[in-house]
Structure 1
Amino acid sequence: MKKQFAVIGLGRFGGNLVAELSKLGVEVLAIDLDAEVVDKYADIATHAVHANAMDESVLRQLGLRNFDHVIVSFGENIEASILTTLQLKELGVKEVWVKASNAYHQKVLDKIGADKVIHPERDMARRIAHHITSEKIIDFIELSDEYSIVEVLATNKVANKSLIDLDVRAKFGCNIIAIQRGEDTIVSPPGEEVIQKNDLLIVIGQNRDINRFEKVGV
């Protein structure tokens, strides 16, 4: 069975999320209090509903308890975000992800059981900062406050060397989990794999270790 997603709040982030999920061919329910906004997504989402998500009876009627993921994406309405999240968790929704406006908002969401708190503006700012301050880092995905996955461009320094020769894990404490070479992706590359210039090395580890590898190792 296909996974079912629901997005509550169709602002800039929520609306784009609905569009991307639809492109991926998954079932997505789009919900917003503004009827005009809902109309915009009627032909994009699997279903688009004009409803007040703060009303527990509405959440029950929509069957959100049976959805795999529900993403709460209100703008600056922190009260609506918190109340909706709390009710979704009380209904027994498996995964409730919530967009947070600030650190205080996140603290409350964590306490009431949100499964993941999203900071789209902050996360994008960090990705851009890592990208523009390094000629080697192509992309950056934060897994937690301490761990990340990055795409690092292979330079002449590591070209024509095998992963065994580099011994990244022993020297830097991080791991190369994949190599992107043109259109090909080598997942879990063997130690004998020889790196070519301009390969994209997909590296996972603690931020301090990745920074050291980027500055010294590659």
Structure 2
Amino acid sequence: MKKEFVVIGLGRFGGSIVRELVELGADVMAIDISPERVDDFAQIATQAVAADTTDESVLRSLGIRNFEHVVIAIGENIQASILTTLMLKEIGVKKITVKAQNDYHAKVLQKIGADHVVHPERDMGIRIANNMVSNNILDYLELSDEYSIVEIQANEKLAGYTLIDLNIRAKFGVNIVAIKRGKQILVSPQAIEKIQHEDILIVIGSDIDIHRFEKKALH
């Protein structure tokens, strides 16, 4: 069976989620209070509806409680975002992901029961800043306030050594969970795996340990 999603709010963030979910083969109901935005997605989403999602009777009439996952991507209207989240919890939606505008908004969403809160602008800013500061870090994904997973370009200092030679976990407290080598991906590489120049190391650990590894092992 196809997975079924609802995306509420069809701005840049919500719109990109609709397109990607459809591309991945999911059924998507796209909702926005603006008929113009809804028209833009009429030929993209499985169903596109113009509706006020702060009205519980509207949500019930659309049968949203039957969908397994709802994404609330409402833009600047924080009140509408919060009210929509409350309404969805009231009618029994199983999983709700909400875009937060700021930390205060995120705290409110978590308190009223949002299952997952995302900060797309903040997270992208963090990723870009980390990529700019280090020549070795290719990508960065924050897992929590203290832990991240990063892609780090191996250089000549690491090339030719095995993972057991480098003893990275014991020295720096980080784990290499995968190695990208061209089109090949080595998941959970063995300790005897020899690193090659320009391998991309997928490293997970605390931000402090990752920065220590990046600074001492690669410079």
TM bin (shorter chain): over 0.9
Q: Using structure 1 for the length normalisation, give the TM-score.
A: 0.96
Aligned CA-pair RMSD? 1.1
Q: Does structure 1 residue 13 correspond to structure 2 residue 16?
A: no
Deviation at 1:48, TM superposition (A): 1.0
Which AA in structure 1 matches 2:188? S
Show the counterpart of 1:203.
203
- Given that 2:6 and 2:71 are in contact with CA atoms closer than 8 Å, whether structure 1 keeps it comes out as yes
Q: Which moved more, 1:22-31 or 1:136-145?
A: 22-31
**What amino acid maps onto 1:74 in structure 2?**
I
Secondary structure of the structure 2 residue equivalent to 1:140: strand
Deviation digits for residues 91-141 of structure 1 (CA, Å, limit 9, x no counterpart): 222221111111211111111011111111110000000001100000001
How far did 1:200 drift?
0.6
1:146 match: 146
In structure 2, the partner of 1:58 is 58
Separation (CA, whole Å) in 1 of partners of 2:216 and 2:145:
22
The match for 2:93 is 93
Structure 2 distance, partners of 1:3, 1:36, is: 26
- Alpha-carbon distance in structure 2 between the residues aligned to 1:192 and 1:137: 24
Asked whether 1:31 is paired with 2:68, we answer: no
Once residues 67 and 163 of structure 1 are traced to their aligned partners in structure 2, the CA distance between those partners, rounded to angstroms, is 45
2:78–2:101 CA contact under 8 A, matched in 1:
yes
Per-residue CA deviation, residues 35-66 of structure 1 (Å, 9 max, x unaligned), is: 11101011111211111111112222222222
Which residue does 1:127 correspond to in 2? Answer: 127
In the alignment, the residues of structure 2 paired with residue 143 and residue 94 of structure 1 have an alpha-carbon distance, to the nearest angstrom, of 23
Deviates more, 1:29-38 or 1:52-61: 52-61
One-letter amino acid of the counterpart of residue 211, structure 1: H
**Residue 129 of structure 2 aligns to a residue in which SS?**
helix
**Deviation of residue 162 (structure 1)?**
1.0
TM-score (norm 2): 0.96
1:42 equivalent in structure 2: 42
Contact conserved, 2:10 with 2:30, CA < 8 A, in 1?
yes
Once residues 205 and 27 of structure 2 are traced to their aligned partners in structure 1, the CA distance between those partners, rounded to angstroms, is 33
Q: Aligned to 1:193, what secondary structure does the other structure show?
A: coil
Relative to structure 2, which stretch is displaced further, 124-133 or 181-190?
A: 181-190
What is the identity percentage for the equivalent residue pairs of Structure 1 and Structure 2? 62
Partner of 1:159 in structure 2?
A: 159
CA distance in 2, matches of 1:92, 1:206: 36
In structure 2, the gaps of 5 or more residues are none
Tell whether the 8 Å contact from 2:137 to 2:152 is kept in structure 1 after alignment: yes
Instruction: Give structure 1 stretches of 5+ with no counterpart.
Output: none
Rounded to whole Å, the distance in 2 between the matches of 1:66 and 1:166 is 52
2:159–2:197 Cα contact (<8 Å) kept:
yes
1:173 is matched with: 173
Which residue in 2 is equivalent to 1:67? 67
- Aligned to 1:190, what secondary structure does the other structure show? coil
Deviation of residue 156 (structure 1)? 0.5
User: Would you identify which runs of 4 or more consecutive aligned residues in structure 1 move more than 3 Å?
Assistant: none
What's 2:77 paired with?
77
